[in-house]
Amino acid sequence: MDRYKLIFDTDPGIDDAVALLLLHAMPSVDLQGITTVFGNASIEDCTRNALYICERFGLPYGVFQGAGVSFLGAEEEDYPDFVHGRDGLGDVGFSPPSRLPAKISAADFIVQAARMSSDPIEILAVGRMTNIARAFEIAPDIKSKIRRVVMMGGAVGVAGNVTEWAEANIYGDPEAADHIFMSDVPVLMVGLDATLMHQISRTQLATLTDDLGDAGEFIWQIKQHYLNFYASKGVFDGFPIHDATAALAMIFPDDFEIAEGDLRCVTAGDQRGRTIFSERHGGHHQVALSAQGTTLWRRFNALMHAQFGVDSSKTV
Ligand code: RIB
Ligand code: CA
């Protein structure tokens, strides 16, 4: 099987945590490293969470701490603790990990990994795209080594989740997103149009909890906060796993309706953070416009059982 090299750029974050476990379970992914960015919590908390997950599950990946402010240097005033908890992982009270982040920054790691690799590298970005924009800015030569940026973020035909127009990852750093869109690097955008169509129900969560041993216990622990948030919005059964759905889109594009065209991001005014997509055959951006939720749940469940399942006689 062909394995391709991937950098995971993330702001863990509850759905980011699930995506990291899923990436570890994907045999075709050769994960080069985890780069962290501020977003669901401060950069220190997001980095600690990535290290915690790696330590708890024995994941052998380096963690590279990235941006704590936006591409233009703006600080965050309010982290979304009502969604992800004050610590970014649902305020379960996990003990601090003993592992430390690597000595170089996320942007420097992206530059180094791209330059040193003989094959093109893919980046899965499930937070603000600040680290990638910085890497492209300090080393424009690496753009030719990036096969594609797959990103969770944006909304095209549905409302945003921060404003009517804007989704959280894009709203948090629109200039970084537009910097990526303006580069010549191919992008696959997996935004709310697709991720909201793949939701996990309480019954499905219970299956994971029962079958996946410590990974199931961990997902159950961190999801309690998330479930409460969705319940407060009137959604009592089912929650999206945005970042894991973007990871699935890399490997199973046929489970999505994907259109080609050109993406830009609005950086000023009331629509700041809006992603604008102009469909055009042959455009070097792609957008997932919908997703087959039932099939994706089957894929997710099968991969997670194969990696973390405690009863090997049980197939899904
Ligand atoms: O809008 C959903 C996205 O924002 C997800 O990536 C979530 O983790 C947060 O970063
Ligand atoms: Ca995220």
Asked if residue 91 belongs to a domain, the reply is yes
CATH code, domain carrying 70: 3.90.245.10
From the CA of 195, give the closest atom in ligand 1: 2
Domain count across the chain = 1
Quick check: is 313 in a domain? Answer: no
d(C-alpha 249, C-alpha 252), whole Å: 5
Question: What separation in Å is there between the alpha carbon of 10 and the centre of ligand 1?
Answer: 9
CA of 1 relative to ligand 1 center, distance in Å: 31
Report the C-alpha gap between 178 and 94 in whole angstroms: 36
Residue 183 lies in a domain: yes
Give per-residue burial for 188-207: e unless 16+ CB within 10 Å, then b: bbbbbbbbbbbbbeeeebeb
**Strand extents, DSSP E, 44-145:** 63-64, 121-125
Measure 128 CA to ligand 2 centroid, in angstroms: 8
Contact 237, 201 (CB under 8 A): yes
> What does each of the 316 residues of the chain score in pLDDT, given as a tens digit?
578 899 999 999 999 999 999 999 999 999 999 999 999 999 999 999 999 999 999 999 999 999 999 999 999 988 988 888 899 999 999 999 999 999 999 999 999 999 999 999 999 999 999 999 999 999 999 999 999 999 999 999 999 999 999 999 999 999 999 999 999 999 999 999 999 999 999 899 999 999 999 999 999 999 888 888 888 877 777 889 999 999 999 999 999 999 999 999 999 999 999 999 999 999 999 999 999 999 999 999 999 999 999 976 665 6
Distance 313 CA to ligand 2 centre (A): 33
68/37 Cα distance (integer angstroms): 6
Whose tokens are 């052998």? That residue is 60
Task: Give the pLDDT confidence score for residue 257 in this predicted structure.
Answer: 98
Distances (CA, A) of 22 to 110, 161, 180: 21, 24, 25
- Which pLDDT score is estimated for 316? 60
Q: What is the pLDDT of residue 5?
A: 96
Structure confidence at residue 3 (pLDDT): 87
pLDDT at 21: 98
Is any atom of ligand 1 closer than 6 Å to the C-beta of 190? no
First-to-last C-alpha distance (Å) of the chain: 22
Determine if ligand 1 sits within 6 Å of the CB of residue 49: no
The token pair that represents 228 in the structure block:
């409460």
Structural domain of residue 33, as residue ranges? 4-308
Q: What is the pLDDT of residue 232?
A: 83
Label residues 251-264 b or e (16+ Cβ within 10 Å = b).
beeebbebbebebe
Say if 315 falls within a structural domain.
no
pLDDT at 1: 59
Would you list the DSSP string of 233-267?
A: TT--S-EE-HHHHHHHHHH-GGGEEEEEEEEEE--
**Three-class HEC string of 84-152:** HCCCCCCCCCCCCCCCCCCCCCHHHHHHHHHHHCCCCEEEEECCCCHHHHHHHHHCHHHHHHEEEEEEE
Q: Which of 308, 304, 37, 314 is nearest to 153 (CA)?
A: 37
State the residue for tokens 């604008």. Answer: 276
Q: How many CB atoms lie within 10 A of CB 173?
A: 30
Q: Residue 314: inside a domain, yes or no? A: no
pTM for this structure?
0.96
Nearest CA to ligand 1 atom 10: 127
Which ligand has the minimum distance to the alpha carbon of residue 163? Answer: 1
**Torsion 143-22-103-13 (CA) sign:** positive
Is there a cis peptide before residue 13, judged by omega within 30 degrees of 0?
A: yes
Binding site membership of 152 for ligand 1 (Cβ less than 6 Å): yes
Q: Is 316 among the domain residues?
A: no
Using a 6 Å cutoff on CB, does residue 9 contact ligand 1?
Answer: no
> Tokens for 248?
């699935």
